[in-house]
Chains A and B, each alone.
Chain A
Amino acid sequence: MVTKAYLNFEQVGMSFRRGTLATEVLRDIDLRIDEGEYVSIIGHSGCGKSTLLNIVGGLLKSTTGEVFLEGQVVDAPGPDRAIVFQNHSLLPWLTVYGNVRIAVDKVFGRAKSASARHDWVMHKLELVQMAQHKDKRPHEISGGMKQRVGIARALAMQPKVLLMDEPFGALDALTRAHLQDSVMDIHAKLGNTVMMITHDVDEAVLLSDRIVMMTNGPSATIGDVLAVGLPRPRRRLELATDAEYTRCRAAVMEFLYARHKLPSRAA
């Protein structure tokens, strides 16, 4: 029996055309992601990871191939594929609460009453531990807190797939670790399907069920897919000496730095 993939990439390719010059960024991307799976896409900068995520998000249209979500072609942005943006993208004139509420009002405006929407927003803010800061504006909170709100906003849309574009890239190491733990915790509770872009090997191994490794661009494609056989819940301190963790980490490092070393020109 062939199980139908939840999120399915079929021969996805992307070219950008500038004048008469076309640059092929992505080529022949085939990938199946199951419901509840946490998949990371890793690769050197410029390999088209973010482009791939934007295609799933509907912000870009692939030039060849299609992405299917539950059998439906993805061709426009929508709340069923909520995105956590790298630079949080909060609206500065709204409070923490308002930034989540605007999405909830739009997505559940008909389905839920006003008080139910309020409870829904507060529940998501509690999930990312931001409930006590609900009345602050984005410029009054730290980078890590902003990203928590970005995650709460995305979760509040109850997406089929949560798309995260280097969500921890702009944070310091300590904040990043803290937030990664939160994301693992939330994933364990809600069982979302997650597709995360990253360039951090440890982050990929720690969080993912599978790691998709991209070859270098132009014309980047999937080089290899690594299944991370670590049981959940995972504890970062215990993993440091774990054999499977070390093996996965070594495999990704080997892929990135030996087989697909970034050409020196772009270092």
Chain B
Amino acid sequence: MPSIVQALKHKQATEAEAGAIHEAEVVALPVRRPPLVERFGPMLADLAGRLAPPLIVLTLVLVVWELLCAQAGSRLPPPSKVLTDAWDFIVDPFYDNGGIDKGAFWHIAKSLSRVAIGFTLAAIVGIALGVLVGQSTWAMRGLDPIFQVLRTIPPLAWLPLSLAGFRDAQPSAIFVIFITSIWPVIINTSVGVRNIPQDYRNVAAVIRLSWYEFFWKITLPATVPYIFTGLRIGVGLSWLAIVAAEMLIGGVGIGFFIWDAWNSSRISDIIVALVYIGLVGFLLDRLIAALGHVVSHGTSAS
């Protein structure tokens, strides 16, 4: 009996010793490849399970709308009439008859270009100010009350002031985008900077990062998830603001297109334009979320 116990002990000892030096080797087991149907069947079922509910609901909404607006004298067109009325507008988004008589693509592209400029400026200035407010208690105490008041001002309320300042429609529209989307960027960035864990600061202190290195190697990467939360809110707000601003400043742009369509009683065009605006806004949000996901290596929620 004792010999067995000893042998067992010895075995454990050598095993523990071996384990201390080598990690267990990973042995790859041969994978049985299931037939094609077996592999793609569940995937298709999953896809159908995801796509079916929104399609069914959409169909139901269209049917109810059709039924409600089908009778003669109804003020809004049913989907079938929208489709026939606005058919030219839908099938040819690239026509350009000069002036503001252009296809949907050109209007949306113009609006997007304004958002791109205004939002990019807001992102740059917003992140810089956010880092400042997050890092300096003095700057936070000085600037935060001003930000909290300014951010509640509706986008369009800025338009007359910016027209007075810029004396031109284009920069005024861009300024409205800028001033609308900057607040969530500033606020989220500053929260992110303030929430950098003490652990990261300790690590940086031990390896003696300079403030410059700390900013690039710790502050920015640690704040990325917060920054992108701010950017997502910001891009949504700027898309909301541009449509309203364009209604007032006129010219090419999806906002004024809607206003123009209303003035010429092209209700079907308005409805199609609204669908486009919704889709573009959705895509903008997804785009920023995807960008954040890539930049933060999957640590920010999408």
Contacts and interface: CB of A to CB of B under 8 A. Distances in A.
Interface in A73-124: 76-79, 81-83, 85, 87, 89, 91-94, 102-103, 106-107
B120 interface: no
B162 to A, nearest CB: 38
Contact of A92 (B19, B23, B217, B299): B299
Given A59-B202, A91-B221, A181 B16 contact: yes
B297 interface: yes
A182 interface: yes
Interface stretch (A6-14, A18-26, A233-241): A233-241
Interface in B174-210: 199-200, 202-203, 205-209
A152 interface: no
A102 B217 contact: yes
Interface string B12-36: 1100110111110000000000000
B135 interface: no
A158 interface: no
Contacts, number: 77
A91 B218 contact: yes
Contacts of B20: 178, 181-182, 184-185
A256 interface: no
Interface in A121-171: 129, 132, 137, 139, 157
A91 B19 contact: no
B81 interface: no
Main DSSP-derived SS at the B contact region: helix
Contact of B13 (A78, A132, A235): A235
Contacts of A59: 202, 205-206
B299 A139 contact: yes
A129 B25 CA distance: 12
B23 A129 contact: yes
A85 B202 contact: yes
A76 B204 CA distance: 12
A43 interface: no
Interface of A: 57-59, 76-79, 81-83, 85, 87, 89, 91-94, 102-103, 106-107, 129, 132, 137, 139, 157, 177-178, 181-182, 184-185, 235-238
Interface of B: 9, 12-13, 16-17, 19-23, 199-200, 202-203, 205-209, 213, 217-218, 221-222, 224, 296-299
